[in-house]
Structure 1
Amino acid sequence: MHKNNFDILILSSHSNPRSNAPINHAAYCQRHGYRYLFDATPYPINSAYDQKLFSIKNNLRAAEWLLWVDDDVFFTQHARNLDFLIDQCVGFDILICNSPVNKKGQMTLINSGAMLIRNCDTSFTLIDNSLNTDIEQVRKWWLPEYGLFTSGDQDRLFYQFQNNPIAKDRVKITDFHTFNARPYHVRSHFDEFFALHFCGDIDKLKEVEHFSTKYNVDRFLLGHQRDSEPFKSSSFFYKLKRKKSLRGRLKELLRGTRPK
């Protein structure tokens, strides 16, 4: 219903990129005609968590809708566009997921690894205020029922959502399965959920490689997306495929066999 009617920017960033998710993001955007930006701007950050808020603040006005995804979030249902998320955001300006209980038994009431944000004054003000909120002020206000305190952007966002009057009835918290599931939720096939978040203090590349091997999918978690026309016709992705092909031929030569 909404396809091609909205100007959508999918945005990601990190001060120290840790995964190959941007290739996954770019492939998804190319398929659906969305704009994609991995923002490598060296913002004047006080902590790595500031990068996200600076990036959103500086790019929110560039599109009607902005979908933020951390650099360790992978789209897995590539044929599905963002209509279903925009439908859920009717009457709201920000759509964000709650957090599942992780393997350590920890949870948070929101997880800022993926957020759909409408370009409007309310959203801009909440992001800007979060960026300028003293984390120690948030720490003193924090209650145990809010879950794990991460000393980061999502704590400041939650503080604004709870205390800023303009956030009333403008922020919707949805279930994490919607677009912020974890790899350990997958039971049978890699694309059970719309997106997977490889969050936490882990070796991102190693975790994605382990997951891709377990579910017999490529390391960018593209699946059949690799066979889609946008992927095949893109010079950028062609170079990726060619590079892999040349590596394969080199391995065959080193084994003493001739490539077919």
Structure 2
Amino acid sequence: MKKKINRILLLIPLLLSVLFLTGCKVMMFSDYKKVKEYIIEDCNRVGLHGKVTITNLKWTALESPTYHVSYIYSEKTHDGQTIKLEEVHTAIRENGPLASNGSTDLLEYKEVFVKQKSLKKVGEKIKNQLNKQSLGFSISSLSFEATHFKFTEKEKILDSVASENVKEGKIDFAGYYQIPYQTMVDEELVDTTINIDDTESVELQDIKNATEKLDASELPNGKYKFDYSTSKDGYYYETSYSFTVKDGKVSIV
């Protein structure tokens, strides 16, 4: 019996070594605390001072021991919203981030301006204007998406506007939240989707016909897309049609 116990005791260091080499490690409170502090430090460095919630944490012993973390960043805004950004998955070396701002590189905080409450009012106004026209179908809502501005001149312009916002005390999401709608339009930072009522029966040709006769005299400049999706009898149908508006004139993309 004593020999068996001794054998088991001898196996414990070997087992621990195997676990270490294969990258198995139980995440402790101290690990979560350490990684969260790294992320918060990176967030503060770019002007973000909201809440960081870690949703998953693992550890691997590769060439350099590394944490693999998933987290959600959220922040309360001046207009009474609590906005959560999409979950981020990133890697952080155990002795610190891989590089300055490493844990925020994939955090899409610069696109947050499309979540402003004021944009909902803009969307409602445009929807009402369109529903007054004889398009052949009803508009249920409008939605706004940030354009693909990363690594372009547009991003530099957006960075400049955000910097001015911070100087004026508009610090939500490091200044990237309170971007005026007119600035979004002028700098082509936003695309607008016009959602067609899914209770109606609409074909692509119907949307093309509506676009041709669309009165865009009161529409802001920019890229637009009619979008229609519905499901019936177990089948899903979706179609869309894009166009641009410039000084009241419609052009097909």
Same fold by TM (over 0.5)?
no
The structure with the greater share of residues assigned to strand is 2
Superposition TM-score tier, normalisation by shorter sequence: under 0.3
Bigger relative contact order, structure 1 or 2 (CA pairs below 8 A, ≥6 apart): 1
TM-score (norm 1): 0.24
The structure with the greater share of residues assigned to helix is 1
